[in-house]
Amino acid sequence: EIGLEYLHDSLDSYHFPTSGMLHRLEYLVAREELGAYADYEQALVNGSMSFSSPSGVNTWLWTYELGYSFDDKAPIERWFRLGGFGRLSGLAPDQLLGRNVVLTTLAYYRRLNNMDLLSAYVGMTLEAGNVWELTDDISVSDLEYSGSLFLGADTPLGPVYVALGHGSNGDTTAYFYVGNPFRVSRFY
């Protein structure tokens, strides 16, 4: 496999940014003669943009992800995954799997204290996305919708969240999550 990547990062914080943006463009070429299981190509574009009130207490974070498998040839171990907190929160982690992916998330969070070592936040997300096995199946009418309410803290061990997600399919999922759910993912 050979991969090319472009990355632009001006976020002021990786865990709870209040300003800046991050954009990533990746292109992956796999060939049997290079040791891959099959010949395929994939592209992934994703990123996030953060906007805050002048005080920095209220923040909006928009994230997006578009993944495409050329000629519908990517093997199942290279399919894109959705589900989990911030990635269609009403679904279990990685519940959806497909060769092509679309996801957008709008998160709002409010800082609850002024502690640098253990800053606390309350927030919510609205999410839309889906995966498709075949390019011809991609349709906006197939989008799944989810949302969540969460409490978060930026700790010395990284961000920690307690959240409740609900999806348009009626599923509700509770989370205790350590890590950044709004991460800009890479190829799996």
List, in order, residues 6 or more apart from 33 with CB less than 8 Å away. none
Residue 115 confidence (pLDDT): 85
Tell me the two tokens of residue 141.
């009418």
pLDDT in tens, 63-72: 999 999 998 8
Residue 188 confidence (pLDDT): 47
As a whole number of angstroms, the distance between CA 102 and CA 58 comes to: 27
Tell me the two tokens of residue 13.
């914080």
As a whole number of angstroms, the distance between CA 93 and CA 178 comes to: 13
Q: Read off the pTM.
A: 0.89
DSSP string, 82-107: E-STTSSTTSPTT-EEESEEEEEEEE
Fill in the amino acid letter for 16: F
Residue 185 confidence (pLDDT): 61
For the chain, the straight-line distance linking the first and the last C-alpha, in angstroms and rounded, comes to 13
List beta partners, residue 46. 24, 65
Ranges in the chain, pLDDT < 70: 182-188
Residue 160 confidence (pLDDT): 93
φ/ψ (deg, to 5) at 15? -90, -50
Residue 117 confidence (pLDDT): 80
